[in-house]
């Protein structure tokens, strides 16, 4: 079994153009910047134990904005989404088929989350969207 060592954050990262960029690590609440990028401000790192998961099903194709209601989600929730295709039962037989599926945007609101996704296929498919929520 291979042992993995902890390493520090890299000082240089290859961007999409493979051009090297300098990475500057900032402290909580401190502005950080990287050459060729906009300035951002880092938010809180607090993690609660109020995390849970759910899934939603959709049949279709193309780019859509899916509304996924859930009473425990609020506008400040952290939501992560993934997408997969399923055959007949979304709990039992998910798979990766020929269609390319992508999650574009995830925007929580009080009472749910909007997810913009794309199913690049020419006919409707059964889609399952999994979400992990920390509220």
pLDDT tens digits, one per residue of 70-110: 999 999 999 999 999 999 999 999 999 999 999 999 999 99
pLDDT, position 47: 58
pTM (global) more than 0.75: no
Structure token digits, residue 12: 């240089």
Q: Residue 79 domain-assigned?
A: yes
36, with CB counted inside 10 A (0-12, 13-18, 19+), is exposed
Q: Check whether residue 94 and residue 29 sit in a common domain.
A: no
Q: Check whether residue 41 and residue 57 sit in a common domain.
A: no
What CATH code is carried by the domain that includes residue 67? 2.60.40
Q: Check whether residue 121 and residue 84 sit in a common domain.
A: yes
Count of other CB atoms within 10 angstroms of residue 101: 19
Domain that holds residue 110: 51-134
pLDDT, position 135: 81
Count of structural domains within the chain = 2
- Is the pLDDT at 12 greater than 50? The verdict is no
Q: Check whether residue 28 and residue 77 sit in a common domain.
A: no
């Amino acid at each position: 079994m291979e042992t993995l060592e902890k390493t520090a954050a890299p000082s240089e990262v290859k961007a999409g153009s493979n051009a090297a960029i300098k990475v500057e690590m900032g402290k909580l609440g401190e502005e950080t910047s990287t050459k060729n990028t906009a300035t951002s401000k880092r938010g809180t790192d607090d993690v609660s134990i109020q995390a849970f998961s759910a899934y939603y099903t959709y049949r279709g194709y193309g780019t859509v904005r899916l509304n996924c209601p859930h009473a425990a989600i609020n506008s400040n929730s952290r939501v992560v989404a993934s997408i997969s295709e399923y055959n007949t039962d979304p709990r039992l037989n998910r798979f990766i088929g020929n269609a390319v599926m992508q999650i574009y945007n995830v925007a929580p609101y009080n009472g749910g989350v909007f997810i913009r996704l794309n199913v690049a296929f020419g006919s409707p498919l059964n889609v399952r969207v999994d979400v992990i929520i920390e509220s």
